[in-house]
Structure 1
């Protein structure tokens, strides 16, 4: 299979983790002609090298879908390939490079993703890698990418990053960050995505709170914005604030990537009562310009 046999549109979910990107990816992945791939940026380390489970439950090396993608794109997965991509990522794919992403290895790095996306056989894929730097690489490398910037109240995000959540893949706790670190990363990622939009990259902003307030119409509006003409006819899996999700082949992401069947769509606003006042003030202060831009006001 050559890179030109199949034109793949990429919907790239950007923002900071714990903002609802995995939920949105799962919903988009239920639409006709759309395939959710998870956080592809972590495929090389967590899938190829560590053999962690695919969203379908099978270990990455044993998943028939990913085995076929690897054969089509690269003649099979290998540690050598993964190490090469990780080396390219360290050279090219860095947030600090977003203002000027040009690099001699950019073409080789983007070509790997181009081949991988095409090898899925899907017309539209969803990559929820989140990092603005990878979105910048893909757009600069000529891939047909539509960025969806997923934002959530930074105080809610910081509260989530401070909680202990077990990873189903290995039983270990997910990474935890303090309020100040989360606030700085929230600002950096969203500011970088704003920069991409000013450069002409198609960026659509979706607030977590708006998505959960009325999931069906919010998803239909997003689908229309992204040019997914079949969206309105493909929303039978959503009934009010309930969704029915089928198995997925996501390679990394929030634990909800493993959920199948009936899923309640409701906001997590536990931060409003459980977050310490001092932590709330720190996050509010460090994020205030963009926080107000996205409509997150209220008391600190």
Structure 2
């Protein structure tokens, strides 16, 4: 049995592009429900019972319990191992050429339907007009385009490849593991290759008829109000005049966002931050990433770097 059509704003791009900060800001807008990286829901939450963005274990979160009840009649009726097997079979970057076609097989439909049910239930629980999934994976967005119950809008978030590459070299502890695990790391060259592949995939997605609009991280941190309004309009939200009052400029000229707790399923450690948070550019890579690595990343990413308006040299955009 199908579910009501739900509008989903999918934040796409390569990780470390500022999507978590963007999602947290957008989550403060009326009519919006943010779910974090739903692609990890099946393993990290249903199997590993990691913490929700609100701080509680997934199984103890009232929000997710109600979502599970509405979507499936309870999470106990979902076989996460089966969903993960579907994920392995259909949701991989190598499958994008096939997923880009007009038709799909039953496994893709079944896999996408799991997400459609979660999105629709979250919208019903919160009364939201738009649900945000910051999973980022291009392959998942390609699967979701085949779900008839999803009105998919993709905000393609890009950041200077050198900043992304530097961020992937840093050691970041996963707070859900109580300090026992760190997040994945990549070499600058590997990160540059992934940056090129993932961003190119979203360009193709738009050419296949999905609503895709590109937003640059650098423009967002320079003008969080303007970018938030542009994304809200793209998502079909008509905002009241005071919708952005949670963004306030301090005496230092830096905009601060007053962030409430969320029910993020998974994602960057910043999903646990609450209270005032600075919305400012992270340009550490300009001095921390060695010059030879900056040049290497720029060379690998050159075709799309230029198309997105990023200079090959290190000067500011």
Q: Which residue of 1 aligns with 2:235?
A: 226
CA distance, structure 1, for counterparts of residue 237 and residue 265 of structure 2: 23
- Is 1:290–2:300 an aligned residue pair? no
CA distance, structure 2, for counterparts of residue 118 and residue 226 of structure 1: 16
- Is 1:174–2:188 an aligned residue pair? no
Tell me by how many angstroms 1:216 deviates. 1.0
Alignment of 1:1-300 (within 5 A): 3-4=2-3, 6-78=4-76, 81-101=79-99, 102-120=104-122, 121=124, 122-142=128-148, 143-170=150-177, 171=179, 172-230=181-239, 232-240=241-249, 241-299=255-313
CA distance, structure 2, for counterparts of residue 71 and residue 50 of structure 1: 19
Instruction: State the superposition RMSD in angstroms.
Output: 1.4
Is 1:40–1:252's contact at 8 Å kept on the other side of the alignment? yes
Report the 3-state secondary structure (helix = DSSP H, G, I; strand = E; otherwise coil) of the residue aligned with 2:173.
Answer: coil
**CA-to-aligned-CA distance 1:256-281 (integer Å, 9 cap, x gap):** 10011111111100000110122112
Is 2:306–2:312's contact at 8 Å kept on the other side of the alignment? no
Is 1:162–1:178's contact at 8 Å kept on the other side of the alignment? yes
CA distance, structure 1, for counterparts of residue 113 and residue 232 of structure 2: 27
CA distance, structure 1, for counterparts of residue 78 and residue 141 of structure 2: 24
Report the 3-state secondary structure (helix = DSSP H, G, I; strand = E; otherwise coil) of the residue aligned with 1:188.
Answer: helix
| Deviation larger for 187-196 or 134-143 | 134-143
CA distance, structure 2, for counterparts of residue 224 and residue 141 of structure 1: 23
Tell me by how many angstroms 1:141 deviates. 2.2
Where does structure 1 lack aligned partners over 5 or more consecutive residues? none
CA distance, structure 2, for counterparts of residue 231 and residue 156 of structure 1: 35
**CA-to-aligned-CA distance 1:115-171 (integer Å, 9 cap, x gap):** 111111132110000001111111122221100000000000000000111111111
Where does structure 2 lack aligned partners over 5 or more consecutive residues? 250-254
Q: How many residues align?
A: 298
Is 1:7–1:123's contact at 8 Å kept on the other side of the alignment? no
CA distance, structure 2, for counterparts of residue 63 and residue 80 of structure 1: 17
Please, what TM-score do these two structures have when normalized by structure 1? 0.96
CA distance, structure 2, for counterparts of residue 125 and residue 224 of structure 1: 14
Q: Which residue of 1 aligns with 2:252?
A: none
Report the 3-state secondary structure (helix = DSSP H, G, I; strand = E; otherwise coil) of the residue aligned with 2:142.
Answer: helix
Tell me by how many angstroms 1:109 deviates. 0.8
Is 1:49–1:79's contact at 8 Å kept on the other side of the alignment? no
Is 1:92–1:103's contact at 8 Å kept on the other side of the alignment? no
Report the 3-state secondary structure (helix = DSSP H, G, I; strand = E; otherwise coil) of the residue aligned with 2:245.
Answer: coil
| Deviation larger for 118-127 or 267-276 | 118-127
Q: Which runs of 4+ in 1 moved over 6 A?
A: none
Tell me by how many angstroms 1:78 deviates. 3.8
